[in-house]
């Protein structure tokens, strides 16, 4: 997911998206441990998307202070 796409989302949508990605990451970690993951790059991409969302949320907090 691109940063520009994330910047267009509201704070509530970002929080919801982050929760969805955290759930996906949790499930993929179990699949990875069991050797059932077909594409291990999914783990890396989800982690990066979560980090992007958290960065945007932190930027928003800093702007309000």
- Residue 39: the pLDDT is 87
Kindly report the pTM of this predicted structure. 0.88
- Residue 13: the pLDDT is 96
Range list of β-strands (E), 1-65:
none
**What domains sit in the chain, N to C, each tagged with a CATH number?**
3-64 (1.10.287.310)
CA 47, 11, 53 angle in degrees (round to 5)? 15
Residue 61 has pLDDT above 90, yes or no: no
Give the whole-angstrom CA distance, residue 8 versus residue 32. 32
Q: pLDDT tens digit string along 23-60?
A: 999 999 999 999 888 888 999 999 999 999 999 999 98
């Amino acid at each position: 997911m691109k940063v520009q796409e994330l910047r267009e989302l509201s704070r509530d949508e970002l929080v919801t998206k982050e929760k969805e990605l955290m759930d996906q990451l949790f499930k993929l970690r179990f699949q990875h441990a069991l050797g059932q993951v077909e594409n291990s790059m999914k783990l890396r991409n989800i982690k990066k998307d979560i980090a992007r969302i958290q960065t945007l949320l932190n930027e928003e907090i800093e702007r309000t202070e």
